[in-house]
Amino acid sequence: MSASAKPVIVLVRPQLGQNIGKAARAMLNFGLTEMRLVAPRDGWPNPDAGPSASGADAVLEQAQVFATVQDAVADCSFVYASTVRRRDLVMPVIGPQEMGSQIARSSARSAILFGPERSGLETEDVALSTAIVTVPINPEFGSLNLAQAVILLAYEWSKLSELAQPPAKELEAPAPHREMDGLIAQLDEELVAKGYFHPPSRTQATRNTIRTIFTKTGWSSREVKAVRGIIRALVGPPRNRDGV
Amino acid sequence: MSASAKPVIVLVRPQLGQNIGKAARAMLNFGLTEMRLVAPRDGWPNPDAGPSASGADAVLEQAQVFATVQDAVADCSFVYASTVRRRDLVMPVIGPQEMGSQIARSSARSAILFGPERSGLETEDVALSTAIVTVPINPEFGSLNLAQAVILLAYEWSKLSELAQPPAKELEAPAPHREMDGLIAQLDEELVAKGYFHPPSRTQATRNTIRTIFTKTGWSSREVKAVRGIIRALVGPPRNRDGV
């Protein structure tokens, strides 16, 4: 994925330096590095930002400052406004996943706007945008803070980027069938020796149950071997290791 | 969606009250309400938690405290350990989306474990789990804090929860964790009696392996009972059914 496809994170009139730092950390966790600040309340640089960035200092150092939102998104083809739905504007409202996929599909530059901590984006800021992006949250509680909003949208973007190679489901494949068969045969032999199968009319049904129970485990070759060792230990005589 | 399908959030040995509060807020944003605390460092209740919860006080008030992880997940059939991949354990590793979909598909109770802020989950905690859930983050930076990890996993769950149809007749849900614990305790006792654990320096690692092998089976209550009967038969004297 080319660098230009990574969305730019635009913090519009952010208030606390601490929150700018947290947003930088959230970005870098998902591989985003380009932060733009529009008219930060306390100027820039802000000494409170660094300590909250937990090592994402490079993001802060490269942050660019703009006087207006318009300037900040001048080179961006798509602009997403992170906010709740607005009654005052008629424009598309999408979820984080749809935003992530739109950004990933395009090679053009995108920006995501986040408003000031207390008041959120103004109508004028939202009106500049291609779409509103809203994280669906608990309507009875619902209070995402700035860093939380940034991390959720950065995360959704990252899922479609190369970062998000799904982890291998299993570190070890299930054992070949014959190995599980060997385990079941061993167990069966021991159970016969113990007189476990009774009455005879139920023996086949019990054997089927045992087969299902062990087949569904998905045990690897290593695990099948371990369980075979456990069965041997259970039926064998106690070993006095201390004495030897 | 029935209440029992919402995952329980388990904070294992959390350190700062502030972070417990932030986790509560993250949960409630996505409709999660059941928090469990395992041995919180500074006791409970913690006066620092409330101010960080930003109104999610009800989550904190209802939080339950447990002495051990085992107790905290005793009634849960699926346990997800939020951590990076572990070299010391062989178990499934899934992403947040897969976790969300597994939880949404099942009517059985699930828990998600989060470790202490600094050190993360111990191997023993992870060994109790059904799977590791890992958020794919920037490998060159990568430092999700506790509240961030909670919000991302709660968010992924919430995306599927609205869509979650009542699960179509599940085959059989995995047994609650306490039943699997019972099986493992029984097996452990018999193996100790047989002198299986040797040398002593390897005992804990072997116990972790055994726990993982059996936890991953997904056995139902009925199957756990059957295997416990098999263990009893293997260690018991042969029964001569013909003679009686």
Q: What is the pLDDT of residue A170?
A: 41
What distance in Å separates the CA atoms of residue A120 and residue A136, rounded to the nearest whole number? 16
Has residue B1 got a pLDDT over 50? no
pLDDT in tens, B223-236: 999 999 999 999 99
pTM for this entry? 0.77
Cβ(A72)–Cβ(A36) below 8 Å: yes
Residues of B in contact with A165 (CB under 8 A): 136
Q: What is the pLDDT of residue A162?
A: 61
Q: For residue A36, how far is the Cα from the chain centroid?
A: 24
Tokens standing for A21? 């730092």
Q: Tell which residue, A165, A164, A160, A153, has the closest CA to residue A105.
A: A160
Helix (H, G, I), strand (E, B) or coil at A88: coil
By Cβ distance, the residue of B94, B141, B241 closest to A29 is B141
pLDDT in tens, B61-110: 999 999 999 999 999 989 999 998 777 788 889 999 999 988 988 888 99
Tokens standing for A24? 């930088």
pLDDT band, very low/low/confident/very high, at B241 (cuts 50, 70, 90): low
pLDDT in tens, B120-178: 999 999 999 989 999 999 888 877 899 999 999 999 999 887 644 444 445 678 888 89
pLDDT band, very low/low/confident/very high, at B240 (cuts 50, 70, 90): confident
- Please indicate whether, in this complex, the C-beta atoms of A218 and B216 are within 8 angstroms of each other: yes
Alpha-carbon torsion angle A147, A150, A156, A157, nearest 10: -140
In angstroms and rounded to an integer, the radius of gyration of the C-alpha atoms of chain A is 29
Mutate which of B87, B138, B158 to test chain A, going by most A C-beta atoms within 10 A? B138
Cβ(A14)–Cβ(A36) below 8 Å: no
Tokens standing for A204? 């086949």
By Cβ distance, the residue of A141, A167, A227 closest to B29 is A141
Return the number of CB contacts < 8 Å for A and B.
161
What distance in Å separates the CA atoms of residue A28 and residue B137, rounded to the nearest whole number? 9
- Please indicate whether, in this complex, the C-beta atoms of B239 and A159 are within 8 angstroms of each other: no
- How many other CB atoms are there within 10 angstroms of residue B140's CB atom? 7
Tokens standing for A83? 């906010």
More confidently predicted of B45 and A242: B45
The tens-digit pLDDT sequence of chain A (244 residues) is 444 479 999 999 999 999 999 999 999 999 999 999 999 999 999 999 999 998 899 999 999 999 999 999 988 888 999 998 777 777 889 999 999 988 888 778 899 999 999 889 998 899 888 889 999 898 888 778 999 999 999 999 998 876 544 444 445 777 777 888 899 999 999 999 999 998 888 888 888 889 878 977 888 889 999 999 999 999 999 987 654 4
- How many other CB atoms are there within 10 angstroms of residue B37's CB atom? 24
